[in-house]
Structure 1
């Protein structure tokens, strides 16, 4: 799907714009820009309807992209890497043979791979096994990467090494079974903003289970009716407070597993707390080996190339406004959380 077409702001009608301008006259000088942006948004949605089956369908693309174990225990892998010459999947399941499992190239920068089950019918990629994507760039070099759609990424055993992507496919008995339904949305929110890792007085990173034991009873007693969890998305640099995101679809493994995060949310619901997740889309880590930066072997893709590649702080790369890349990084991540 290409870029949105240009629009003529004079031809754009914004519903109830006059009412808005009456309430806030300071917005009058910005009518042209407001109409231009509103028109671009309408074009944006029109392109989704035309090429992607609608925005609702496209915003759940996390169900398609990444690695997914099928009912027959085969594994279907799907990626978007327009700058790659070739894509491979490797891991401890094949003794890290980097070129044994090549992806098939599709149109529009998409790649697909299906790994059949073992002869006994079991999944070849076991629960918690380590995997990596291998990208052959346009210069023929092989580069190790993590899937942008990884759902479980863990700290390496050795300090200074890149984070490691793991297959998350626990047996049924280890999956969290939801007990409590989500409480009704309160008329007035009293939100307790919190960070799981610093919820204990001990000199360590706290866990999702620590939060349930230490924080939930206290904030209920204090009269809060909602809790906002910060730094939930995976981030290799802990001091970034979760704002330099490395894996947009993975819950931070420092605090526990995805099932333990579900346990925390379930416990909050049981206590009558509405749960808000602070999902960061305006920031990303500049990490290459365990982030989105240079994922397909180019500086573009998910980020701007050239002078616009980094923000003024030179800390995080600037996420591109290219239609495809924009939606692949942010929109599906919102709906998945």
Structure 2
């Protein structure tokens, strides 16, 4: 990883867009100009590194490559970014919890292909449990849920979560039955967190949010939602 530190001369080379407009509206931020320029420079440097290696478009489609993904030919492709690991394995209910080895493919990436069943079907059953096993270079063995997991469920007896492979039959997959809404002339964004939307001391549901909160948001004139913490997390108050 390249250093992201800057000296004063380098810092001045980064032109922060509309920075003087920012200072005109919020003059109290002028005292933080050095930090703002440094942070913007770090952003530009990181963006250029991404563009140089694979491009922003490719970078933002990581969800198509990472995690456990079923392919059109019935195989399952598994990929994780685990730098400094000595070995990585996948285990799960589909294979009686036997360890299957990933192979390192460079840049901290580990890859594994699981062949399709003889009839061409997916070898990993829908909602079967999976785990990643990592051997670290300091001789530790740890189990983890993939950060790219599409579906996890909370254990009844503790705060832990189980990773479930999400691949329902086509008859169960979500079908879009509504037309695309008309694009508004301008955005009026309402920030919401579905899990804490209820007044009760409980984790709220999508059904409650749809029936009780969305109408209130609509009636106040908002036309866009910014949903916080959509991704599940093992410690709920952290918001993921």
Normalising by the residue count of structure 2, what TM-score does the alignment of the two structures yield? 0.83
Alignment of 1:1-337 (within 5 A): 2-4=2-4, 6=6, 8-51=10-53, 53-97=54-98, 99=99, 101-156=100-155, 158-160=156-158, 162-178=160-176, 179-185=178-184, 187=186, 189=188, 191=190, 193=192, 195-196=194-195, 198-199=197-198, 205-217=203-215, 219-220=217-218, 224-238=222-236, 240=237, 243-245=238-240
Separation of aligned partners in 1, 2:169 and 2:199: 31
Deviation at 1:177, TM superposition (A): 1.7
Separation of aligned partners in 2, 1:192 and 1:28: 29
Deviation at 1:80, TM superposition (A): 1.0
Highest relative contact order (Cα 8 Å, sep 6+), 1 or 2? 1
Normalising by the residue count of structure 1, what TM-score does the alignment of the two structures yield? 0.61
Q: CA RMSD in A?
A: 2.8
Taking structure 1 as reference, are residues 11 and 128 closer, same or farther at Cα in structure 2, changes over 3 Å only? same
Q: Could you list the per-position Cα deviations for residues 213-268 of structure 1 after superposition, in whole angstroms to 9, with x for gaps in the alignment? A: 34444554565544454442212334x1xx342xxxxxxxxxxxxxxxxxxxxxxx
Q: Could you list the per-position Cα deviations for residues 100-148 of structure 1 after superposition, in whole angstroms to 9, with x for gaps in the alignment? A: x100112222100000011121111011111101111224443211111
Separation of aligned partners in 2, 1:221 and 1:3: 50
Taking structure 1 as reference, are residues 115 and 14 closer, same or farther at Cα in structure 2, changes over 3 Å only? same
Equivalent residues of 2:188, 2:221 under 8 A apart: no
Taking structure 1 as reference, are residues 35 and 88 closer, same or farther at Cα in structure 2, changes over 3 Å only? same
Equivalent residues of 1:69, 1:75 under 8 A apart: yes
SS at 1:212 equivalent: helix
Gaps of 5+ in 1: 246-337
The structure carrying a bigger strand percent of its residues is 2
Q: Whose radius of gyration is greater, 1 or 2?
A: 2
Deviation at 1:165, TM superposition (A): 0.4
Separation of aligned partners in 2, 1:21 and 1:209: 44
Equivalent residues of 1:68, 1:76 under 8 A apart: yes
Equivalent residues of 1:81, 1:110 under 8 A apart: yes
